[in-house]
């Protein structure tokens, strides 16, 4: 599926929404790989208004935004819109292989905000770019009815709190459990010991199979 007009980008495979759904149901927590937070969740494609989405990271990286800007017109050559995907795409670009999936959004009732919220779990750079381009909505995969014991690592923030950086900043997010002492008792559903080395990202969803770059380290 190579585009003769642009050899810099090569689509190597496409995975349907149902294949992506299956992969999501097998996503595991970083802290306890026996736990699948989306195993029984409602997972569906959706066109979401960007104003209804909330980030859980306080930063975007300039380099990642530049890459997304380059990719957008290249994917259009294949009649693919990176802001309105319904499948997972495996592709080669600039000598490397990547996977692009629609942004992943978790929807749940937030006690502090006293309302249902939809947070951007993965795909923040694409949504940020969509905002810069003036788009009002974007194609996402929405996940609801997640296992209640699987709290998110970070708290939702407002778009005005997110800043663009050249490298990963020291303060990346507002952690739900910022100290080991604040971490909840998980003995009713996990026998993994919680300690200083794993508590902060215990509930982190490992989305590597969907192309997520994972936890970015501060340089």
* Confidence grade of residue 211 (pLDDT, cut at 50, 70, 90): confident
* Confidence grade of residue 1 (pLDDT, cut at 50, 70, 90): very low
**pLDDT value at residue 95:** 87
* Confidence grade of residue 216 (pLDDT, cut at 50, 70, 90): low
* Confidence grade of residue 5 (pLDDT, cut at 50, 70, 90): very low
How big, in percent rounded to 5, are the helix, strand and coil portions of the chain?
A: 20, 30, 50
Count of the separate structural domains present in the chain: 1
Regarding pTM above 0.85, the answer is: yes
Taking the C-alpha atoms of residue 186 and residue 150, their distance in angstroms, rounded to an integer, is 10
Taking the C-alpha atoms of residue 173 and residue 107, their distance in angstroms, rounded to an integer, is 18
Predicted confidence (pLDDT) at residue 61 exceeds the cutoff of 90: yes
* Confidence grade of residue 46 (pLDDT, cut at 50, 70, 90): very high
Residue 20's Cβ-count burial label (10 Å; 0-12, 13-18, 19+) is: buried
- Strand blocks (E) in 78-180: 88-93, 96-100, 104-110, 115-122, 137-144, 163-165
Domain around 193: 9-207
Q: Would you give the distance in Å from CA 29 to the centre of its chain?
A: 14
Give the SS3 label for residue 130: helix
Q: Is residue 217 part of a domain?
A: no
- Strand blocks (E) in the chain: 9-15, 42-49, 53-55, 59-61, 88-93, 96-100, 104-110, 115-122, 137-144, 163-165
- The more confidently predicted of residues 87 and 52 is 52
The contacts of residue 116 (CB under 8 Å, 6+ apart) are 107, 108, 109, 110
**pLDDT value at residue 218:** 66
CATH code for the domain in which residue 126 is found: 3.90.1530.10
**pLDDT value at residue 219:** 56
Q: Is residue 110 part of a domain?
A: yes
- The more confidently predicted of residues 2 and 61 is 61
Q: Is residue 4 part of a domain?
A: no
Tokens read off for 86: 């319904």
Q: Is residue 2 part of a domain?
A: no
**pLDDT value at residue 209:** 85
For the stretch 177-203, pLDDT in tens is: 999 999 999 999 999 999 999 999 999
Decide the pairing of beta strands 137-144 and 42-49.
Answer: antiparallel
> How many percent of the chain have pLDDT more than 70?
95
Q: Is residue 143 part of a domain?
A: yes
Q: Is residue 50 part of a domain?
A: yes
| Phi, psi for 97 (deg, rounded to 5) | -105, 140
* First vs last C-alpha separation in the chain: 37
């Amino acid at each position: 599926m190579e585009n003769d007009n642009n050899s810099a980008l090569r689509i190597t495979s496409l995975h349907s929404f149902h294949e992506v759904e299956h992969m999501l149901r097998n996503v595991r927590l970083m802290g306890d790989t026996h736990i699948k937070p989306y195993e029984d969740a409602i997972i569906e494609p959706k066109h979401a208004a960007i104003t209804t989405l909330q980030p859980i990271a306080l930063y975007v990286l300039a380099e990642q935004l530049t890459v997304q800007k380059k990719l957008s017109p290249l994917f259009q050559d294949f009649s693919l819109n990176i802001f309105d995907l319904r499948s997972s795409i495996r592709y080669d670009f600039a000598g490397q292989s990547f996977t692009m999936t629609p942004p992943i959004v978790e929807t749940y009732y937030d006690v502090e905000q006293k309302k249902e919220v939809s947070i951007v779990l993965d795909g923040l750079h694409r949504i940020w770019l969509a905002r810069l381009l003036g788009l009002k909505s974007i194609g996402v995969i929405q996940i609801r009815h997640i296992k209640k014991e699987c709290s998110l690592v970070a708290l939702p923030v407002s778009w005005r709190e997110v800043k663009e950086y050249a490298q990963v900043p020291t303060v990346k997010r507002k952690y739900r459990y910022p100290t080991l002492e604040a971490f909840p008792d998980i003995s009713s559903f996990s026998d993994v010991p919680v300690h200083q080395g794993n508590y902060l990202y215990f509930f982190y969803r490992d989305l590597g199979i969907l192309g997520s770059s994972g936890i970015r380290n501060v340089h």
